[in-house]
Amino acid sequence: MQTKNRMPQNGADNRNRNSKRRYYTYRKASKKPGVLPPMETEKVRISFLGGMNEIGKNMTLFEYKNDMFIVDCGLAFPSAELLGVDIVIPDFTHIVNNQERIKGIIITHGHEDHIGGLAYLLKQVNVPVYATKLTIGLIKGKLEEHGLLGSVKLVEINPRDNITLGQFNIELIHVNHSIPDAVGLAIKCPAGVIIHTGDFKIDTTPVDGDMIDLTRFADYGKRGVLALMSDSTNAERPGSTMSESSVGESFEHLFRKARQKRIIVATFASNIHRVQQIMDVAAARHRKVAVVGRSLENLVSVGADLGYLNVTKGILISVDEIGSYSDDKLVIITTGSQGEPMSALTKIAMGEHKKVSITPNDYVIISATPIPGNEKMVSNVVNALMMRGVEVIYENMYDVHVSGHACQQDLKLMIGIVKPKFFIPVHGEQKHLVKHASLAQSMGIARNNIFIGDIGNCIELSKDGINQVSSVPSGEVYVDGYGVGDVGNVVLNDRKHLSRDGIIVIAATIDAASGYVVSGPDIVSRGFVFVKENEELIQSIREISENVITQQYDKRYRDWNSVKTRLRDEVTHYVFERTKRKPMILPIFMEI
């Protein structure tokens, strides 16, 4: 790995531009005298392993000849259909199959959808990880949880540094986002230059004072960019994204409006700039701050240790100390802005939190916009809070949230200064990718030079064109507790079946010599009907079960499977006729 803190000198740039022969390779010479061999254009391959046609789980593989490297390795949170699943990570099969060729992993920033799958990958493929200071700090916490901290090479890098991974040279370019130390990438190889924006916005007045490095993006645009891969999350939203600093003004207004009430602010656990502004306004109003939620506590700890969070001395208190202060002297920052069932805010709203009890003297600010699909969960939390007499500020009632992603005008500005020949929208659902592609067309990029990809697509990119060449193993791997990948479609279907219709357990003890039922059948119902109110139905199931066992049990062959199959069929048919439901039937036999 080589790093350079300085920009290349003009002489070096000229040498690179003049070294045209590096960008071509020749086929075997023709046997016919006097005929030159045809020239073959250099090509780079890109495989999309996540982040396409979905929100989250971002992961992309770049390949040139025998060298590969990975950009990001994130997770996605499970949908309502994935019962019991904790997180969703990419399928690493293609990475594992090519692990000898992987030169490293570059992480663009520290959000879960970009680092959340990293520990699971590093258990299978141990390669160096390159990231900026804060991102490395957050990654260390992940690796420590998984017992990997001492065995993985972590390399801290800075914007404008260059990393050499095989025949790739990658420069980091500072961008604004809802977390510090976010970067885009200028990926250089003999095929050309590919700009990957990472997640970005254009913030002219950022909280940390460090504006996106548009100059560097423009420098590459002047030299010539083969392709631009750009964040599509906000491609449907017109205009420009507001500055994060505007939220601080809203907090000042709302904190004054709260008067003598206790203030509870729910925000994304990773938005360190938002946390900083909440703490600054709290300090100005002489309020103490308590942080509730494990991920938020970790961010505050890492951010303060690394100097990304300026914590006024004495302002932070533990959640155990909140009882020692009056309501008008407290601000509680918590997780749960998306209404997640197990989050701190949801537990507080439902009266289930062990240390924070809600009262009508609370003033709750939800400083986030619901992610598509989470609207109902957020609404449930808001309703639960209001039913307890709490005043709630949410969604667009005030400017308490701004996005960390570029809207349409900023996306077009990026396209305009980078001037790519080819355009690949990334990071978004299909509607986001398609809308972003139409923005690129409006900026003069030909439709044939735009590729809208999907997970598993592998494309070849050269100055002559962009083509899908194959598909690579890809998809979703479910993490449930300590289990990784052991929950598949069969298990999920069983869980859905149980959640919809419940289960009936039929237990019987059979005399091994005679084949007669000596005990039972006992009927146990869970999630189907309330037994005490349906004794007639349960008794009928018991009689059917006893008849089937007596008729079907062969004491010579003891074909348990045929008896259980017939029992399931008979009971299922009877129950459906009576209830129009299809509970899972689970026979359990024991011979004595």
Query: Which residues are designated catalytic?
Result: 231, 405
Cβ–Cβ < 8 Å for 46, 87? no
Q: Are the CB atoms for 75 and 112 separated by under 8 Å?
A: yes
Q: Distance between CA atoms of 76 and 428, rounded to whole angstroms? A: 12
Residues 283, 326 contacting (CB under 8 angstroms)? no
Please tell me the distance from the alpha carbon of residue 143 to that of residue 539, in angstroms, as a whole number: 55
d(CA 135, CA 460): 30
Which of 519, 529, 525 is CA-nearest to residue 589?
519
Q: State the sign of the Cα–Cα–Cα–Cα dihedral 350, 356, 357, 359.
A: negative
- Alpha-carbon distance 146 to 517, whole Å? 51
The two three-digit tokens of residue 205, written as one number: 């007045």
Which residues are CB-neighbours of 579 under 8 A, at least 6 positions away? 529, 537
Token readout for 507 is: 């237990």
Structure token digits, residue 444: 């003069």
The two three-digit tokens of residue 173, written as one number:
């370019």
Please report, as a single letter, which amino acid is at residue 591: E
Question: What spatial distance separates the first Cα and last Cα of the chain, rounded to whole Å?
Answer: 69
Q: How far is the C-alpha of 55 from the C-alpha of 426, rounded, in Å? A: 10
Q: What dihedral do alpha carbons 519, 521, 523, 524 form, nearest 10°?
A: 50
Tell me the C-alpha distance between 163 and 157, whole Å. Answer: 9
Sign of the alpha-carbon torsion through 381, 384, 387, 388: negative
Among 494, 483, 584, CA closest to 85: 483
Tokens (6 digits) for 62? 């770049």
Q: Which residue has the tokens 């939390």?
A: 381
DSSP-assigned states of every residue in 92-125: -HHHHHTGGGEEEEE-----HHHHTTHHHHHTT-
DSSP 278-296: HHHHHHHTT-EEEEESHHH
Both tokens assigned to 267: 């925000």
